[in-house]
Amino acid sequence: MGSPLTKKVTLTGLFFLLFFSTPLSTTTFAQSPSVSAQSAILMEQETGRVLFGKNEHKKMRIASITKIMTAILAVESGKMDEIVKVSNRAVYSEGSSIYLKPGERILLEDLVYGLMLRSGNDAAVAIAEHVGGSVEGFVFLMNQKAQEIGMRDTYFSNPHGLDDHENHLSTAYDMALLTQYAMDNRKYREITGTKTHRAPQEGKKWDRVWKNKNKLLRMYEYSTGGKTGYTKRAKRTLVSTAEKDGMELITVTLNDGNDWNDHINLFEWGFKTFDLVPIVDKGTIKGLENEVYKNSVEAPRKFLYPLTEKEKTAVKNEITLHTPPKDGEWDDHPPNPIGKVTVQLYEQTVGTVPLYLEGTYPEYDKKTFWGTLKEVVSKFFSITVPHG
């Protein structure tokens, strides 16, 4: 479990099953960086813990960082290898463009690269029409996905972020949640971290060549991706991601005239202040004294959490297990899972991991936090946990 952690073991007849990480409320740490943004957040990717926040729940205009949602829906659609016929509506979209032509046929995957690297509004509309059947149908999918992943203060009115609707709003926190979700997708990661992409152009001998507008990919050695945005009303918006020593961070700033420097400063502060600490290891839980459970209880996956040096001494693990039968022998259907580990920091629960008898737990694929939470909560409400 790790040397700085304390552990408490409890036997009980019932327990409430969850498998999650709950971010602590935003904490002000010593020497937290100052930022120029009206709204900002620094979030850790693995757990969603908010390491820094400034008006992070304030609803604001978000401009082209909207396209993160458009991109991940396209990637998840299963249509990336399909050919899209570009409509007049897409071609005549206002603002930034990848200069599509009416009736042009182009691979959906290339449209997503044009969307993310060059922020093409024409690409956004073409994607929306192909994936959603219409722009309006796609916007419905955008809001449905937003609710699914917990974006409670977000409403999308279009696939590009132009200021053509008054209620197209989100928050720095919600956009960080969206990015956390999207970054769990390998293809999205590949696209958002691409510096230059070449796309064949129908009827032409030369390719389109797009360079990523996200300057952090060239300015900052730990940068892994992100999305820029700007409209007259939203001003400069920026989402970016970075990874160092196995820890991944997400930064979002809204209305920030100094966003490049603010993002670098937030990343540097985060990497300096926090370590991603393994609190629960995958495999056998050590130190259980009851003979029924000794060396026979397992965790299905690691649980890691970003901690400061001071916080490492304040973490406690509480193991809760079903009361074993008096004769030490389970019937044909022992409780599954058999218990849980509850991780607490300063008496606040930050995560819970289910426990299983040796060899009885399912293998967990790499999933997003929200996907795993939804699956396990659904399972809980469909079963009755038996008494010990």
DSSP string, 141-209: HHHHHHHHTT-TT-B-SSSS--SS-TT-BB-HHHHHHHHHHHTTSHHHHHHHT-SEEEE--TT-SS-EE
pLDDT attached to residue 369: 39
pLDDT in tens, 344-381: 999 999 999 999 998 887 665 444 334 444 343 333 33
Question: Contact at 8 Å (CB) between 239 and 213?
Answer: no
Spell out the SS3 assignment of 280-312.
ECCEECCCCCCCCCCCCEEECCCEEEEECCCHH
Query: Does residue 312 have an active-site annotation?
Result: no
Question: Contact at 8 Å (CB) between 158 and 165?
Answer: yes
Provide CATH 2.30.140.30 ranges for the chain: 6-24+277-381
Distance CA 48, CA 361 (A): 25
In order along the chain (388 residues), what is the average pLDDT of each group of 10 residues?
Answer: 46 38 52 92 97 98 98 98 98 96 97 98 98 98 98 98 96 98 98 97 92 98 98 98 98 98 98 95 89 89 94 93 81 84 93 90 51 38 28
Q: Of 96, 119, 157, 240, which one is the catalytic site residue?
A: 119
Both tokens assigned to 143: 């809001």
pLDDT attached to residue 370: 40
Distance CA 227, CA 214 (A): 6
Picking from 175, 221, 212, the residue whose alpha carbon sits closest to that of residue 192 is 212
pLDDT attached to residue 340: 93
Our CA angle for 135, 138, 139, nearest 5°, is 85
Please tell me the pTM assigned to this model. 0.85
pLDDT attached to residue 307: 97
Query: Does residue 145 have an active-site annotation?
Result: no
Distance CA 279, CA 337 (A): 20
Both tokens assigned to 333: 């259907």
Amino acid at 174: D
Checking DSSP bridges between strand 50-54 and strand 39-44, what pairing results, if any? antiparallel
- Secondary structure (3-state) at 4: coil
Picking from 381, 305, 320, 254, the residue whose alpha carbon sits closest to that of residue 47 is 305
pLDDT attached to residue 31: 73
Q: CA of 363: how far to CAs of 36, 41, 202, 254, 339, in Å?
A: 45, 33, 45, 39, 17
Question: Contact at 8 Å (CB) between 279 and 343?
Answer: yes
Q: Of 54, 67, 227, 235, which one is the catalytic site residue?
A: 67
Annotation: CATH topology of 39-257: Beta-lactamase (3.40.710)
Provide CATH 3.40.710.10 ranges for the chain: 39-257
Pick the CATH number of 6-24+277-381 from 3.40.50.300, 1.10.443.10, 2.30.140.30, 3.40.50.2300: 2.30.140.30
Query: Does residue 64 have an active-site annotation?
Result: yes
pLDDT attached to residue 70: 98
- Secondary structure (3-state) at 270: helix
pLDDT attached to residue 378: 35
The secondary element (H helix, E strand) that includes residue 41 is: strand 39-44
Q: Of 21, 39, 54, 64, which one is the catalytic site residue?
A: 64
Residues 6 or more apart in contact with residue 270 via CB below 8 angstroms: 42, 44, 51, 52, 249
Both tokens assigned to 201: 């152009």
